[in-house]
Amino acid sequence: MKALSQKRRHPLAAIALLLMGLLVTGGLYAAATSMNEAKASTTTASASDVEEGGKLFAANCATCHGMGASGSKDGPSLVGVGAAAVDFQVGTGRMPMQMNGPQAMKKPVQFNEQQTSQLAAYVASLGAGPAIPADDLTNGGGDAAKGGELFRTNCAMCHNAAAAGGALTQGKFAPALADVTGKHIYEAMATGPQNMPVFNDANISPEGKKDIITFLKQIETTGSPGGADLGSLGPVAEGLFVWVAGLGVIIAFTIWLTSRTS
């Protein structure tokens, strides 16, 4: 016991304990943040899909992203981005890019569903990353009220409280979310395309993402029961409309009065 007591008072004991604490904390953090990647690695894709995806990638994507998706001066590495990122970017037509700009624009898709799936399978084979979500997470059926709270807390500052989109800096923008499939909304949250942050399962759980999708689909189908939404841009647009329309009515009424007196 005396020997142990002397070792505890050793001048390096505090440093050893600090290092041990850092190692344990780092290990726990790494395990928590790799949950999504572990889930992605369970996605099954046939060897033929991976092979065909590699051919499509070499013919259409390697010019910018490099052979083996290792990246180049014209495009980032795709190793570890996961199948969900490819399915979102290619499935919405943002990739391949039509031209360089502040951000990739949505446009008609270049690949069909099978080819998109093959490209996603190939990129997923290069490194673990977020997988394409299951249908039960993207088809609604969640709690719209909770989804609304999550959306207003995490998303409304860019996408607008009514999901009508909004302007960002340097020519960039957060797109409107109407007519966007639940799968692509989920994939965007999981992968963080463009200027969007990544909302992994530690930030917003899969059930939370499902609730957000349910909320967005609800407000999309409900519309604006109170009248014209004026682009859902909020009090600035509404105030401008009142000033322009109100002043127009006042000016027209004034002209009518003066024409009668003359």
- Same domain, yes or no: 56 and 10: no
pLDDT of residue 21: 73
pLDDT of residue 234: 61
- What percentage of the chain exceeds 90 in pLDDT? 56
- Same domain, yes or no: 139 and 214: yes
- Same domain, yes or no: 105 and 122: yes
Residue 231's pLDDT band (cuts 50, 70, 90): low
pLDDT of residue 258: 83
d(CA 14, CA 162) in angstroms, rounded, equals 54
- Same domain, yes or no: 113 and 155: no
- Same domain, yes or no: 109 and 79: yes
- Same domain, yes or no: 66 and 27: no
Tens of pLDDT, residues 18-59: 777 777 776 665 555 554 444 444 446 789 999 999 999 999
Region of residue 193 (phi > 0: left; psi between -120 and 50: alpha; otherwise: beta) = beta
82 or 221: which carries more pLDDT confidence?
A: 82
- Same domain, yes or no: 54 and 89: yes
Residue 248's pLDDT band (cuts 50, 70, 90): confident
Domain count, the chain: 3
Say if 145 falls within a structural domain. yes
- Same domain, yes or no: 23 and 73: no
In this structure, of 65-74, 197-206, 246-255, the range with the lowest mean pLDDT score is: 246-255
d(CA 144, CA 66) in angstroms, rounded, equals 42
Q: What is the CATH number of the domain that holds 148?
A: 1.10.760.10
Say if 251 falls within a structural domain. no
Question: Which of 75, 94, 126 is the last residue before a domain boundary?
Answer: 126
Q: What is the mean pLDDT of residues 208-236?
A: 79
d(CA 206, CA 255) in angstroms, rounded, equals 61
Contacts of 159 (CB under 8 A, 6+ apart): 151, 165, 166, 174, 175, 176, 177
DSSP state of 75: B
Helix (H, G, I), strand (E, B) or coil at 130: coil
Say if 245 falls within a structural domain. no
Say if 212 falls within a structural domain. yes
Tens of pLDDT, residues 88-106: 999 999 999 888 888 999 9
pLDDT of residue 102: 87
- Same domain, yes or no: 122 and 141: no
In this structure, of 44-58, 134-148, 217-231, 236-250, the range with the lowest mean pLDDT score is: 217-231
Say if 260 falls within a structural domain. no
Say if 246 falls within a structural domain. no
Q: What is the mean pLDDT of residues 232-239?
A: 65
pTM metric for this prediction: 0.73
pLDDT of residue 29: 56
Say if 204 falls within a structural domain. yes
Tens of pLDDT, residues 163-181: 989 889 888 999 999 999 9
The Cα-based distances of 25 to 13, 73, 130, 137 in angstroms read 18, 36, 24, 31
pLDDT of residue 253: 87
pLDDT of residue 256: 85
Region of residue 160 (phi > 0: left; psi between -120 and 50: alpha; otherwise: beta) = left
30 or 158: which carries more pLDDT confidence?
A: 158
Say if 70 falls within a structural domain. yes
- Same domain, yes or no: 154 and 207: yes
pLDDT of residue 40: 40
Q: Is-cis flag, bond preceding 96, omega within 30?
A: yes
Residue 18's H or E segment, with its range, is: helix 13-33
d(CA 97, CA 193) in angstroms, rounded, equals 14
- Same domain, yes or no: 140 and 172: yes
* Neighbouring-strand partners of residue 64: none
Domain containing 26 equals: 2-33
d(CA 127, CA 136) in angstroms, rounded, equals 25
- Same domain, yes or no: 142 and 174: yes
